[in-house]
Amino acid sequence: MTRAWQPVIGLEIHAQLSTASKLFSGAATAYGAEPNTQACMVDVALPGTLPVPNREAIRKAIRFGLAINARIASQSVFARKNYFYPDLPKGYQISQYELPIVAEGRLAVRMDDGHTFEVAIQRAHLEEDAGKSVHDAFHAQTGIDLNRAGIPLLEIVSEPVMHSAQEAVAYMRAVHTLVRWLGICDGNMQEGSFRCDANVSVRPAGEQKLGTRTEIKNVNSFRFVEKAIEYEIERQIRAIENGEAIVQETRLYDPAKHQTRPMRGKESADDYRYFPDPDLPPLLVDALDIARERAAMPELPDARRARYMQELGLPELDAVQLCGDRATADYFDAVLAQLPGEAKLCANWVLGEVAAALNEAALPIEASRITPDALATLLKRQREGVISGKIAKDVFAAIWAGEGDADSIIDRRGLRQISDTGALASAIDAVLAEYPGQTADYRSGQEKLFQFFVGQVMKRTKGQANPQQLNQLLKEKLAAPVES
């Protein structure tokens, strides 16, 4: 590179709204059905059929708007976006154009290094998805699956305010967390429920005018979004510095070759000949509708993260990780409800043992093999001194393996902590007698050997010695005068 360049990035995120039926028909939306078994006459616009907006999709769009402090339009309009494509049998897509239901929102985004920035969200509009072209099912032919035709989408359009692939991915993750937190989208990227188009341009550093942008279409992986944007930035800079012009176009990202390639010329809004759909009246949302949805809103991630830090005294990193998704935060709250005042202990276990077990089993926390109640009981036994922290981890593993609850495992295995002073003193005496050299070294000043003796007593008691009592008795024994 011969000069400094500034990338400019905006994202158009498509979030599939979690509704049982499509945006304008009663056809089902379940993923994985046999091709063309979930498309009705309305979805293909047969003559005589009329679309009817899905009330639940509208509610979910309003909730998203409230979550980003956006303006909810009292009157929005569905428009026809006209273009030809084989999997779009109507020849147009019902979307929103000039009057979207959500506009002018903002979302705070946290980077991995802890600093935050704010992304202006231009609009979030309702639209139906198109069908799907199937290229690999028939030799030399393309099939059409219309199961996705009419699937409700919320297209979330940011302003072009991001300047690196890392910022774009952080923003996309923040939206992903939010839509899942609100329960309006399952966020399943493998199934196409959450994907994005990335608009990328570059301009000389300090220049205000935007460069010519390209659009990378339909990327459904955080890693691929980052790779695709990085490649496109480098490609555009290299082209400009070689004296080439950037062509406004839609491009596809090929992860196998790690490159973008032209897909088609980029249309402008005029090319789509938007006009209000004559079959759909303006969508009216009144103050009562908004108030109803506001009352149903959950505590949002930022608010819960702040509460964890301010009211529970959790470190920022713990609060951030717990609020990475609502299910984890709810699980933590359920454990903490039974152990008030033990927020750090609960956080350590949820982010430690529970997260590790879930990761190893490739399970979401909703499918955890240890319920919040079962974990809370285990931690109570640790706090009561019935078992040590080390034994608690063994009991956790047994619960996870399906061996029963904490109390039954503790009793069956004889794991109750040894707090009897006489028994502990006897174990300590035996260890000191077994290691006379180390005992003498300790008493001559090598205090770092203390943990060696702790370990040996723990080994002798099979980890069941009460740590606090063991430490106190061991210090007393080692400090006692040596009998001659």
Distance CA 237, CA 232 (A): 9
Neighbours of 362 (CB within 10 A): 7
Cβ atoms 101, 283 nearer than 8 A: yes
Neighbours of 308 (CB within 10 A): 24
The C-alpha angle 342, 347, 353, rounded to 5 degrees, equals 120
Distance CA 192, CA 149 (A): 13
Residue 310 has pLDDT above 70, yes or no: yes
Task: Report the range of poorest mean pLDDT among 153-157, 368-372, 424-428.
Answer: 424-428
Distance CA 134, CA 144 (A): 6
Neighbours of 468 (CB within 10 A): 11
Taking residues 260-267, report their average pLDDT.
77
Q: Residues 41-72: pLDDT tens digits?
A: 999 889 999 999 999 999 999 999 999 999 99
Taking residues 68-85, report their average pLDDT.
95
Q: Residues 108-120: pLDDT tens digits?
A: 999 988 899 999 9
Q: Residues 176-213: pLDDT tens digits?
A: 999 999 999 999 999 999 999 999 999 999 999 999 99
Alpha-carbon distances, residue 20 vs 38, 134, 200 (angstroms): 11, 24, 35
Taking residues 101-110, report their average pLDDT.
96
Task: Report the range of poorest mean pLDDT among 222-231, 281-290, 396-405, 463-472.
Answer: 463-472
Taking residues 308-333, report their average pLDDT.
96
Distance CA 481, CA 484 (A): 9
3-state secondary structure of 334: helix
Q: Residue 266 has what pLDDT?
A: 63
Bridge-partner residues for 108, per DSSP? 118
More confident residue, 265 or 458: 458
The C-alpha angle 114, 117, 122, rounded to 5 degrees, equals 145
Q: Residue 389 has what pLDDT?
A: 86
Q: Is 46 exposed, middle or buried (0-12, 13-18, 19+ CB in 10 A)?
A: exposed
Cβ atoms 107, 64 nearer than 8 A: no
- How remote is the C-alpha of 204 from its chain's centroid? 35
Torsion angle in degrees (nearest 10) through CA of 461, 466, 467, 473: -90
- The 3-state DSSP composition of the chain as helix, strand, coil percent (nearest 5) reads 40, 20, 40
Q: Residue 67 has what pLDDT?
A: 97
Angle between helices 372-383 and 326-336 (to 10 degrees): 40
Rg of the chain on CA atoms, in Å: 30
3-state secondary structure of 349: helix
Please count the residues of the chain: 484
Give the single-character DSSP code of 354.
I
Which residues are within 8 A (CB) of 80 and not within 5 positions of it... i.e. 6 or more apart?
92, 93, 94, 95, 274, 275, 276, 277
Taking alpha carbons only, the member of 374, 370, 372 closest to residue 333 is 372
Q: Residues 156-166: pLDDT tens digits?
A: 999 999 999 99
Structure tokens at 243: 């004296």
Cβ atoms 76, 96 nearer than 8 A: yes
Distance CA 372, CA 140 (A): 54
Q: Where would I find the H helices in 299-420? A: 301-310, 316-322, 326-336, 343-349, 355-361, 372-383, 389-400, 406-413
Q: Residue 113 has what pLDDT?
A: 87
Distance CA 113, CA 166 (A): 11
Q: How many helices (H) and strands (E) does the chain have?
A: 16, 16
Cβ atoms 293, 59 nearer than 8 A: yes
Backbone angles phi, psi at 260, to 5 degrees: -100, 155
Taking alpha carbons only, the member of 128, 103, 115, 131 closest to residue 164 is 115
Q: Residues 436-472: pLDDT tens digits?
A: 999 999 988 898 899 999 999 988 888 888 888 888 9
Cβ atoms 90, 81 nearer than 8 A: no
Q: Residue 482 has what pLDDT?
A: 65
Task: Report the range of poorest mean pLDDT among 325-339, 354-368, 449-463.
Answer: 449-463
Q: Residue 483 has what pLDDT?
A: 61
Neighbours of 459 (CB within 10 A): 12
Structure tokens at 116: 């935050």
Q: Residue 267 has what pLDDT?
A: 67
Taking residues 252-256, report their average pLDDT.
90
